[in-house]
Structure 1
Amino acid sequence: MSNTTDAHDLNRQALALAELVELAARDERLSAALATLDVTGLEGHMDPAGLRAALAEAVLDEQRESRTAEAERRAGAAGVTLAHRCRCGCSGINHDDRITDDGRIPCAAVGCACMDLEFAPA
């Protein structure tokens, strides 16, 4: 890429940011949403497709965090670690990354029919 192209791309970026600043100054909801975003992990363009991908990733991250917190709570209540076995025989770590709508953490091991993580007594 030439210096002229780099300068042109930087100018387009600066103009786009200036437009975003102006829009955010006029729209309180947009301003609040932008203030909440941590863009350090975002890659690619912030067009609708890029924003949808970032949203999907953020939702999945939140689901994984919720699942981990719940699995750790269950492990703590049973006096074990996440690596301990569930009643199905699989490790607690092998259970799904997400909690179902009704609060279950099904096993993700192939062929296991366990519908909820329940640690076996230590």
Structure 2
Amino acid sequence: MTSSRPADPPTYAQQQLRAGTMAAGLRHFLQYIQREPAVGQALALIDLSELRGPLDEAGLQSLLHEAETERDRCAALAERDTRRTEAGLAHGAACTCGHSDTLHTRHLTEDHRLPCAHPDCLCHDLAFV
């Protein structure tokens, strides 16, 4: 049986090299932003607090996917709230199919429907009575 010991923490020299590399990259990036202010304006709209890993194309694609997923989820929840309010019903009211609104999809379809996710349900859109 082999024991796995934790990796040694980086040395100060390694940390200095990493920090210097990051500083050089940021300096170069800031020079680019000065030449292209629209890039800086676009960056001001982005919350990087959830970024895991480097700010490269893959990292940005991951952030984009997460932002689009969250946007779509919130759009579906807002649509549910709007429909519930318009029908004068309380949170969690059942759809005309009899299933709770929480059983309907959490993403609007391309034609703005919220179909029921319950197996064998034929409800194609969340509708309140």
Tell me whether the two structures share a fold, i.e. TM-score over 0.5: yes
Q: CA deviation at 1:76?
A: 0.8
State how far apart, in whole Å, the 1-side matches of 2:65 and 2:91 are. Answer: 26
Q: CA deviation at 1:105?
A: 0.9
Aligned twin of 1:53? 62
The residue type paired with residue 67 of structure 1 is A
Structure with greater Cα Rg? 2
What SS does the aligned partner of 2:82 have? helix
- Percent identity of equivalent pairs: 32
8 Å CA contact retained: 1:84, 1:92: yes
1:12 aligns with 2:21: yes
8 Å CA contact retained: 1:82, 1:91: no
1:41 aligns with 2:46: no
C-alpha deviations, 1:8-53, integer Å up to 9, x for none? 1111111111111111111122111111111112221111111111
What SS does the aligned partner of 1:36 have? coil
Aligned twin of 1:117? 126
State how far apart, in whole Å, the 1-side matches of 2:79 and 2:93 are. Answer: 15
Query: TM-score when scaled to structure 1?
Result: 0.90
Query: TM-score when scaled to structure 2?
Result: 0.85
Q: CA deviation at 1:86?
A: 0.8
1:78 aligns with 2:87: yes
Which 5+ residue runs of structure 2 have no aligned equivalent? Answer: 1-9
Q: CA deviation at 1:57?
A: 0.7
The residue type paired with residue 72 of structure 1 is D
State how far apart, in whole Å, the 1-side matches of 2:127 and 2:68 are. Answer: 25
1:26 aligns with 2:35: yes
8 Å CA contact retained: 1:64, 1:97: yes
1:104 aligns with 2:75: no
The CA RMSD over aligned residues, in Å, is 1.3
Which 5+ residue runs of structure 1 have no aligned equivalent? Answer: none
Instruction: Write 1 or 2 for the structure with the bigger share of helix.
Output: 1
